[in-house]
Amino acid sequence: MTSLARRLLAEFSGTALLVSVVVGSGIMAQRLSTDIGLQLLANSTATVFGLAVLIAVLGPVSGAHFNPVVSLADWWIGRKSGAGLTAGDLGGYVLAQILGAVAGSMLANAMFAEPVVAWSTTDRSSAHLWLGEVVATAGLLMVIFSLARSGRTALAPAAVAAYIGAAYWFTSSTSFANPAVTIGRAFSDTFAGIAPSSVPGFLVAQAIGGIVGLLLVLGLFGRPEAGLEEQPVMSDSSSGR
Measured distance CA(90)–CA(73) in Å, rounded: 10
pTM of the model: 0.92
**Domain 4-221 in this protein, CATH class:** mainly alpha
Looking at residue 224, what is its pLDDT? Answer: 73
pLDDT at 231: 54
* Residue-level pLDDT at 223: 78
What tens digit of pLDDT does each residue of 123-134 get? 999 999 999 999
* C-alpha–C-alpha distance, residues 189 and 23, integer Å: 10
In tens, the pLDDT along 84-113 reads 899 999 999 999 999 999 999 999 999 999
What's the pLDDT at 237? 36
pLDDT in tens, 208-238: 999 999 999 999 998 776 544 455 566 543 3
Within 8 A by CB and 6+ apart from 156, the residues are: 55, 59, 64, 144, 147, 234, 235, 236
Q: What is the pLDDT of residue 147?
A: 96
Quote the CA–CA distance of 48 and 233 in Å, as a whole number. Answer: 19
Q: Locate the domains of the chain by residue range.
A: 4-221
Q: Distance between CA 230 and CA 84 in Å, rounded?
A: 8
Is the per-residue pLDDT at 5 higher than 90? yes
pLDDT, tens digit, for every residue of 132-181?
Answer: 999 999 999 999 999 999 999 999 999 999 999 999 999 999 999 999 99
| CA 42/CA 61 separation, integer angstroms | 29
Beta-carbon contacts of residue 86 (< 8 Å; ≥ 6 apart): 75
Q: Over range 12-32, report the average pLDDT.
A: 97
Please report the pLDDT score of residue 229 as a whole number. Answer: 47
pLDDT at 222: 86
Find how far residue 193's CA is from the centre of its chain.
15
pLDDT digits (tens, 9 = 90+) for 27-60: 999 999 999 999 999 999 999 999 999 999 999 9
Q: What is the pLDDT of residue 235?
A: 56
Q: What share of the chain is helix, strand, coil (3-state, %, to 5)?
A: 70, 0, 30
